[in-house]
Structures are given as structure tokens and as C-alpha cells.
């Protein structure tokens, strides 16, 4: 999952119009690469086969105007929610290996911090979805 996220974040970073948003995406790439290096090191130590890394990013001839920052923000936000869910499930299901469970907890803590900052940024920009508020009908 991280390989795909890093690859798409790189693509989104090159398409981002807002410079602050681009910096936020590049910071996510940095954070995810750090986590990925830890996971790869642990996998090698435990003799777990690794999936193939994606190819290096190439410059795209596609017009960056076709993708909006709001659209990219919402996609990344949905990934964040999926990642939080995956980390929680990994913590619950890792029963025998305490050091691995600790790594999942650290990743969850980092992910929660990033999600909070990312969501606040999206709210500031007006990119989050507004959920309608329903009240009791007035008679």
C-alpha cells in the first residue's frame, strides 16, 4: 500500500497548483519513505519477501490543469483513513511479535498526527466535504 501511495503522492506533487499543498505532499512522501525503509529492513531481517518497488517517477506530458488540488486532497484524505484503519488492524492482529506491534503503534501515531494536520489544512482551504446537519423538524 505504501509503494502505491508514495508513487501517487509524487504524481500529485507534480500536479499540485498550491505551493503549500505541494510541500504537504512532499512531506508525506518523506514520512512514508522513512516508514517504508523501517518496514523493509524488518522484512529482510525476518526473511519476508518484499514486493517490487515501483519504477522511478518520470516527468508527465499531461496537462496539470486537468487535476484540481481539491480532487487530489480528497483522494489523499481517503488514503489517510484507510491507512489509519490498516494500522489499527495490524496492532490488533500482531499478537506474538512485540517489536512489530510497537512499530505499528509508532506508524499509527505518525499517521494520526499527519491526518490531523492534513485535515486542518483542507478545512482551511475549503476542500473538505461539508456534511449536512439535520435537526428535528419544526412543526
pLDDT digits (tens, 9 = 90+) for 68-103: 899 999 999 998 899 899 999 999 999 888 988 999
How many angstroms separate the CA atoms of 100 and 26, rounded?
27
Q: What is the model's pTM?
A: 0.75
User: Rounded to an integer, what distance in angstroms lies between the CA atom of residue 111 and that of residue 12?
Assistant: 19
- What local confidence, expressed as pLDDT, does residue 64 receive? 66
Amino acid at each position: 500500500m505504501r509503494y502505491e501511495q508514495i508513487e501517487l503522492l509524487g504524481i500529485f506533487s507534480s500536479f499540485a497548483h498550491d505551493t503549500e499543498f505541494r510541500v504537504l505532499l512532499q512531506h508525506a512522501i518523506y514520512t512514508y519513505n522513512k516508514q517504508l525503509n523501517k518496514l523493509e529492513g524488518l522484512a529482510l531481517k525476518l526473511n519476508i519477501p518484499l514486493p517490487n518497488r515501483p519504477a522511478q517517477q518520470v516527468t508527465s506530458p499531461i496537462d496539470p490543469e486537468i487535476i484540481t488540488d481539491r480532487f487530489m486532497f480528497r483522494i489523499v484524505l481517503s488514503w489517510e483513513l484507510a491507512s489509519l484503519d490498516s494500522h489499527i488492524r495490524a496492532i490488533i492482529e500482531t499478537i506474538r511479535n512485540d517489536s512489530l506491534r510497537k512499530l505499528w503503534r509508532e506508524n499509527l501515531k505518525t499517521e494520526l498526527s499527519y491526518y490531523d494536520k492534513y485535515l486542518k489544512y483542507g478545512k482551511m482551504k475549503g476542500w473538505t466535504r461539508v456534511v449536512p446537519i439535520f435537526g428535528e423538524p419544526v412543526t
